[in-house]
Structure 1
Amino acid sequence: MALKLKHKTLSGALMDEIRQAILSGRFAAGTQLRQDALAETYGVSRIPVREVLFQLEAEGLVKILPQKGAIVSELSRSEIDDVFDLRLLLEPRLLLASAPSLQEADFVALDEKQAEYVRAIAMGQVNDYGRLNADLHMAMYHRAEMPRSQQIVASLLQTSDRYTRLQLSNSAAMDKAMAEHAELIRLLREGQWERSADLLRNHIATVRTDLIKVVSGQ
């Protein structure tokens, strides 16, 4: 499965391949990711593999341990609490900073992203759930003049990708999430910013509660 790409895009392509393998469960939690085996699988040298594993560690998908190397991270209650506490702190703040500056073109884009997300769910395109969820959330926040907070939240949403797939494996949770996204867009369009922030807090908190139940069940 050699990645025949220009050098400047090789690390990005390799990152996407290994990340998707983890998120899809092909590399299950607890799996040891050996640099030489990955290099052979993807037809690259060990240098870009090592770089990618360090980046995946920063995303929380991999842990690099002494004597063992890179191990796919377990789904854990502590990580859920860490990620979602930060999301609850930062996302409503970003939303309130962005909302007054949202324009009609932004709402058109939000409607399109919501429709794309609904289509992906209808077609069972699980690999797209996390990306579409992150795109939709970040589109609500992009008018906030808070680049550092936006960068942190974008990273948190990427880290949440595996959890998003897990949570949306429940049809009731999926329907609720889609309804809440649609309601968020409606409230923002109507200028009901405080209500939209309250709904966003409840939305994030509900996702966390659902995930804790799933992880506990596992």
Structure 2
Amino acid sequence: MLKKLTQSETLAEQAYREIKQAIIEGRFSPGEHLPEEAIASMLGISRTPLKKAIEKLSYEGLVDLRSGKIARVAEYTPNDIENFLQLRVLLEPFNVEQIVRIPISEEKMSELVELVEEQKKAIEDNDLYQFIQLDAEFHLSLAKLNPNQKLQQFIEQLNNNLHRRYLILSKTLEYGSKTAYEEHVSILKALQKGNPEEAGRAMKTHIQNVENRIRGYQASSLH
């Protein structure tokens, strides 16, 4: 189920990436236990770097790590997702409206363009893991353009601790990665035109469509 690791980077970092990819690809399911001894044996490492990897996955919300109990893949509820999206739909449209007015430098705009182009390539390569990384990076990059550090922190916390967790566990990005990419293109075009209102609408539409895709996937998975 998991491949043995090499020494090109720290074993903890490799274990984190390998287990995370297994969760993304559905090789580990929500609620499934992750016994340290068995996982360490699969990866060909000791339990020390594995513990560090699981702690990082726990911080991101992908693993439930409770004292005295075996770690397990996190689960989610529709109510969790709804609460999370309510916060995103308030903060992220407001953020893009603000950063357009700053305005965005040519250098930063070029970086955003490159991120979106890399998302397209990830879809063409059918690399869901890479697309998820780039999707999160796109939203975080937009937040970092805002000089309001508190707003940056709120959006970053939502994305790091919640965005990946619910979008990964609900399989929403696998279900609608191409559409998500197209919505990112719409946001990018509005930013390039320097239109705050259009950028805000594009971001709001994107987040609302994320919610619709989650609901659509959940409904289809019941049949």
The TM-score with structure 2 as length reference comes to 0.82
Shift of 1:142: 2.3
Q: How many residues align?
A: 213
Given that 2:30 and 2:169 are in contact with CA atoms closer than 8 Å, whether structure 1 keeps it comes out as no
**In structure 2, C-alpha distance between the alignment counterparts of 1:20 and 1:211, rounded to whole Å:** 20
Unaligned runs of 5+ in 1: none
Q: Do residues 151 (structure 1) and 152 (structure 2) align?
A: no
Aligned CA distance change for structure 1 residues 75 and 151 (closer, same or farther; 3 Å): closer
Alignment partner of 1:93: what SS? helix
Separation (CA, whole Å) in 2 of partners of 1:141 and 1:162: 21
Which residue number corresponds to residue 217 of structure 2? 214
Give runs of ≥4 in structure 1 deviating > 4 Å: 65-68
The AA in structure 1 aligned to 2:154 is: S
| Match in the other structure for 1:93 | 94
Q: How does 1:45-64 map to 2 (within 5 A)?
A: 45-64=46-65
CA contact (8 A) 1:30 1:71 kept: yes
- Write the distance in 2 (CA, Å) between the matches of 1:117 and 1:200: 17
**1:89-168 equivalence runs, <5 A:** 89-99=90-100, 100-145=102-147, 146=149, 147-155=152-160, 156-162=162-168, 166-168=171-173
Distance 1:78 1:52, change over 3 A: farther
Change (3 A) 1:12 1:169: closer
The answer as to 2:20 corresponding to 1:19 is yes
> Which region of structure 1 is more displaced relative to structure 2, 47-56 or 189-198?
47-56
> Structure 2: which amino acid aligns with 1:167?
T
Question: Per-residue deviation at 1:58?
Answer: 2.7
Distance 1:101 1:5, change over 3 A: same
Alignment of 1:183-198 (within 5 A): 183-198=186-201
- For residues 40 and 46 of structure 2, the distance between their equivalents in structure 1, rounded to whole angstroms, comes to 5
Which of 3, 7, 15 is equivalent to 1:4? 7
List gaps (5 residues or longer) in structure 2. Answer: none
